[in-house]
Amino acid sequence: MAAPINGRLARIAACYWQASARLNAYDKPCITEAPNLIARLRGLHDYAAMVNEYQVRCYILWEAEVRQPGSRKVEHAKAALLASNPENYLKQPQEYLGIEVVIRLLFGEGRQARGLQLASNYGPYLSYLRDSQLGPNMLGIDSDRLAAEYARSIGVNVITANAAELPFAGNGFDLVFSHNFLVFNYEERLDRFRPGRHGTEPFLARVLSEVSRVLRPGGIFISSQEYLGGDQVGQVNLNPHPDFQESWFNRRETPLLKELQVFKKA
């Protein structure tokens, strides 16, 4: 028999299921039709045509790599290709359930927090936030120009920017969040193909440093499905949030929350 849920866990579980219902009910055409509409921005008929084009580009780059092993031009092209994977345009608000729960628990529905989403793509979750009480002060960045263009066309504030060089002043955000972006295979490829002007400093280290810089003291960083090491975030003045340790999340009542890490800037 499962152990009884105490008051705090009951609140988390209630928030979890309420947020899940709201996110699943958010099915606006600008979100459900996004893959095909973004394909048309690229001058293609539909999403299937965009997938075919992407596969052709992958094959061309593979051939180029075989002919020119170690070519910096080819490596840069592969890095650019990473950000334009059509699968990114399939993202739906439901994927951000864990982040939504933590935002609700920390900020409620009435407080106007200023937040930033890293790698927001075309802004499916930001669109949802825009229509909630937290929405007006939320914005996103993404390296995919097409995704950012589409986001703005549906009234979502997404700018084209590099997460390792955030174009914002310091101490300006209450909240920064990231979902399935700072993952090892992506970081490794970026470090190999696009070291940038910071030389050999790893991409993840640069991003975490930037997150800490733009957060106000006491600001929150939510990381979803990224499994960051404590030493990595600790080096940039981000510490595990005392109210959101693993023991709160690793329960049957809220299964997706165990993929979250919540940090607080000192």
In this predicted structure, what is the pLDDT of residue 114? Answer: 92
Q: Who has greater pLDDT, 182 or 8?
A: 182
CATH number of the domain that 229 lies in? 3.40.50.150
- Dump pLDDT digits (tens) for 208-227: 999 999 999 999 999 999 98
In this predicted structure, what is the pLDDT of residue 51? Answer: 96
B/e letters for 91-104, b = 16+ CB within 10 Å, e = fewer, are bbbbbbbbbbbbbb
* Centroid of chain to Cα 68: 34
- Pairwise CA distance, residues 87 & 251, whole Å: 30
Beta bridge partners of 265: 238
Q: Is residue 249 part of a domain?
A: yes
Q: Is residue 2 part of a domain?
A: no
Give me the mean pLDDT over the 203-207 stretch: 90
- Dump pLDDT digits (tens) for 38-50: 999 999 999 999 9
CB 212 within 8 A of CB 238: yes
Q: Who has greater pLDDT, 248 or 234?
A: 234
Q: Is residue 83 part of a domain?
A: yes
- Dump pLDDT digits (tens) for 68-107: 887 878 877 877 787 788 999 999 999 999 999 999 889 8
pLDDT band, very low/low/confident/very high, at 189 (cuts 50, 70, 90): low
Q: Who has greater pLDDT, 252 or 244?
A: 244
Q: Is residue 1 part of a domain?
A: no
In this predicted structure, what is the pLDDT of residue 1? Answer: 39
Q: Is residue 22 part of a domain?
A: yes
**Most confident residue range from 15-24, 70-79, 184-193, 253-262:** 15-24
Q: How many domains does the chain have?
A: 1
- Dump pLDDT digits (tens) for 106-153: 988 766 789 999 999 999 999 999 888 666 689 999 999 999 999 999
Q: Is the pLDDT of residue 198 over 60?
A: no
Give me the mean pLDDT over the 238-254 stretch: 74
Share of the chain above pLDDT 70, in %: 86
Longest dimension (CA), the chain: 63
Please give the residue range of the domain that contains residue 191.
7-265
B/e letters for 33-58, b = 16+ CB within 10 Å, e = fewer, are ebbbbbbeeeebeebebbbebeeeee
Q: What is the mean pLDDT of the chain?
A: 86
Give me the mean pLDDT over the 56-77 stretch: 86
DSSP structure string for 14-49: HHHHHHHHHHHH---HHHHTHHHHHHHHTT-SSHHH
Q: Is residue 64 part of a domain?
A: yes
